[in-house]
Structure 1
Amino acid sequence: MLPLANILARPLRTAVSVLAVGVGVALFLVLVGLTGMLDEIARRTTQVEAHLMVWPASDQVVVSGGLPAEKVEKDLEGVAGVEHAIPVLRWPFKMAGRVQNVYGIRPEDWRYFASEDQILEGRALADGPEMVIDARLAAAGGYRVGQTVERWGHAFRIVGIAKEGVAGRVFMPIDTVGEALQQTSRRASFFYVRVVDPSHVAAVREAIRERGLNVFTLEEFYDVLASSFIDMDLVIGSVVFVAGFVCFLVILLTVYTMVIERTHEIGILKGIGASRAQVFGLVLSEAGLIAGAGIVTGFLLTWGGRALILHLQPLWTVEIPPLRYLLAALLAAGGTLLGAAQPAARAARQDPVESLRYE
């Protein structure tokens, strides 16, 4: 096949072009995959038998704030339609080499966060300096039931390991967390709220909002969380744009050089009757082969990069939906063909007599 033979005639240049396309594809997919951490956090945080989340009005959802737990709980449970208010004191706690968010909860509220069959080892949370962690954290840090973890000048005993997917990776009694932080009274970063009748969620939400608190449904949590990382889309977009532009330039220069080098051969083709469309199609076919090889290379780099990230950071989530692979392939193919369009048009317009004179 002529297009394949043409690109293989300069293997190093072709390899650089393929790698440029592949790196662009991999950058796009890996960055998109890393945004899966937001999805994973949102999924876990909403795996609670509740309908609403209530935060201090001035806090962002990623910040551990502080509300007087007993006062706000009483106020929330005084709202018509509220069945139960569940205080949570969230605080950073380093385990497995990474900062985790401890969920300080009352032991009697554990049933809202996990059922008995979600405890894989040990038991559920009780009072005292103890913790329950999820299976993914246990695997990443090599933790086991009965092990003691020392933080904040205190020793906490792991009493249970829960199935991956529960709201927090680390659970402790709320009063234990408060004591470790030297709080003089029970505080809460936010509340989960259960509503008696789910059809009245909107009315309950409005009544809570009138009390000057930030309230939203669990279904809205992802949007609220994403708003705290609003610069992330800008960063991803900028990196993808730069990668795409570099890819475009590499393809443009590669194909342009190929056309210049083969000016004489193009003249021969046109001299024996090749039309402009045929010459244009020939050059685009070569660019298409480079794009195809680059896309495959990009997928391989993506899978390798994902495996490396998860090896180095086992608690990270890199989720890449199948449609994103299709989008990456279309973007790479489009960018490659766009970069090849001008050199292909130049080749198609070449005068056969002038081309044959070219040395």
Structure 2
Amino acid sequence: MNKLVVGNILHRPLRTVITALAVGIEVVMILTIVGVMIGTLQNSQSEHNGIGADLIVQPPSASFITGIGGAPEPIAVAGVLAKLPHVAVVAPVTTNLSTVGSVENIWGIDFKSYNALKPFVFLAGGPFQGPDDVIIDDIFARTGGGRHVGQTLIVEGRAFKICGIVQHGKGGRKFIPIKTLDNIIGNPDHASLFYIKSDDTKNNGLIEQEIKNTPGLATFKVQTMEQLVSLLTPSHLPGFQAAMDSVIGIAMIVGFLVIFQSMYTAVMERTREIGILKSLGASKLYILDAILREAGLIAAVGTIAGMLMTLAVRAAIWHFNPAFSFGIPGAWWGIAAAIAVVGALLGSLYPAWKAARKDPIDALAYE
């Protein structure tokens, strides 16, 4: 049986290669969309964990997705928060989703307080020396052929000088003085959110209660960083899961149709061969098994090829843009393989059933 299946596949090498590549492209589509979308979330989770804060305080209307919503609250709120019991550090931050040149989040920080949450690890240069300085992380520094301290960088359509390069994992890729960013977005002395470091994490609940009891802050959103990170999942992001499911669904349909067309054509071309097998005593189950094995083998080869192509795509992306997030959870390799193979087998069911039902007399007379 296996020799027969392999022989049939090798007898039509071009069709086999094209079909396997189509299955491979299906796998690439699934893994790439998962890699980009899940990778972005994983990167955001990692960046937030590295800030060093224990609590995050946001205006009532703020989204849990930092970078959206502008800077609606006065920076003076930081002074009020700093006076509360058990608060060790308060760092006001303005985050702005920039679409100038590329879509990215720009972070406006008060260096002293933000650094007090968890110190930056400088790989080159140092803190801001002026309002037009920018700090970048090491991942972004590797983009564009490499960036160095003293180089000019355009941020929000304005020229900044790179004053420092830091180890990644501090929330963003580009940091500029909060006053500068506030002026750029036209909202001076305001902030998007406030990070708090407590004197002891056991007191996080007490700090939250004190904030709720402070006049003017009762409606503010207060979360621990663990709670915020837990929200950065596909199920909590509007449209995220639907978009991912849609792409995966399209990939499944493509794989199904390609296998169906390939196996149906193969069955039509091998009508006489099937008649000979049945005249020699091959049962319907034998014919069905042969067609499904052939489809399964092609799907397996295509799946492996798709995984290798995905690794090549990831390597190419990281080569040209090291700052791009691309992370595929281990389970998704198996899920993509299962989707491809199951889709291929489903696509070959009708051609296999049609082949198994052929009358041997009619098949032998077929030309």
Q: Compute the TM-score of the two structures, normalised by the length of structure 2.
A: 0.86
**Count of residue pairs the alignment pairs up:** 356
2:53/2:117 contact within 8 Å kept: no
- Residues 184-242 of structure 1: per-residue CA shift (max 9 Å, x gap): 4x211111112233233345335545611122222233454557842232222112111
**Distance (Å, rounded) in 2 between the aligned partners of 1:113 and 1:82:** 11
SS of residue paired to 2:170: coil
Quick one: percent identity of the two aligned structures? 36
Name the residue aligned to 2:336: 328
Q: How does 1:201-350 map to 2 (within 5 A)?
A: 201-205=204-208, 207-208=210-211, 211-225=218-232, 229-350=237-358
**TM-aligned CA deviation for residue 167 of structure 1:** 1.8
**Distance (Å, rounded) in 1 between the aligned partners of 2:119 and 2:199:** 20
Moved more, 263-272 or 194-203: 194-203
Q: How does 1:159-238 map to 2 (within 5 A)?
A: 159-181=163-185, 183-184=187-188, 186-205=189-208, 207-208=210-211, 211-225=218-232, 229-238=237-246
- Residues 78-123 of structure 1: per-residue CA shift (max 9 Å, x gap): 544433321112235689x53443322222224345536x211112
2:54/2:198 contact within 8 Å kept: yes
In structure 2, relative to structure 1, the CA distance for the partners of 1:30 and 1:153 (3 Å cut) is closer
**Distance (Å, rounded) in 1 between the aligned partners of 2:291 and 2:186:** 72
**TM-aligned CA deviation for residue 303 of structure 1:** 2.2
Matched letter for residue 50 of structure 2: Q
- Residues 299-334 of structure 1: per-residue CA shift (max 9 Å, x gap): 232123223333444321111123211111111111
1:105/1:172 contact within 8 Å kept: yes
Matched, 1:131 2:134: yes
Matched, 1:121 2:129: no
Matched letter for residue 17 of structure 2: A
Name the residue aligned to 1:52: 55
In structure 2, relative to structure 1, the CA distance for the partners of 1:113 and 1:204 (3 Å cut) is closer
**Distance (Å, rounded) in 2 between the aligned partners of 1:69 and 1:49:** 23
In structure 2, relative to structure 1, the CA distance for the partners of 1:352 and 1:92 (3 Å cut) is closer
Gaps of 5+ in 2: none
**Distance (Å, rounded) in 1 between the aligned partners of 2:245 and 2:253:** 12
- Residues 262-293 of structure 1: per-residue CA shift (max 9 Å, x gap): 22222222222223322221111110111012
**Distance (Å, rounded) in 1 between the aligned partners of 2:72 and 2:288:** 69
Gaps of 5+ in 1: none
Name the residue aligned to 2:18: 16
1:113/1:167 contact within 8 Å kept: no
**Distance (Å, rounded) in 2 between the aligned partners of 1:181 and 1:234:** 32
**TM-aligned CA deviation for residue 26 of structure 1:** 0.4
Name the residue aligned to 2:28: 26
SS of residue paired to 2:324: coil
Name the residue aligned to 1:91: 96
In structure 2, relative to structure 1, the CA distance for the partners of 1:103 and 1:335 (3 Å cut) is same
**TM-aligned CA deviation for residue 55 of structure 1:** 1.5
Name the residue aligned to 2:148: 144
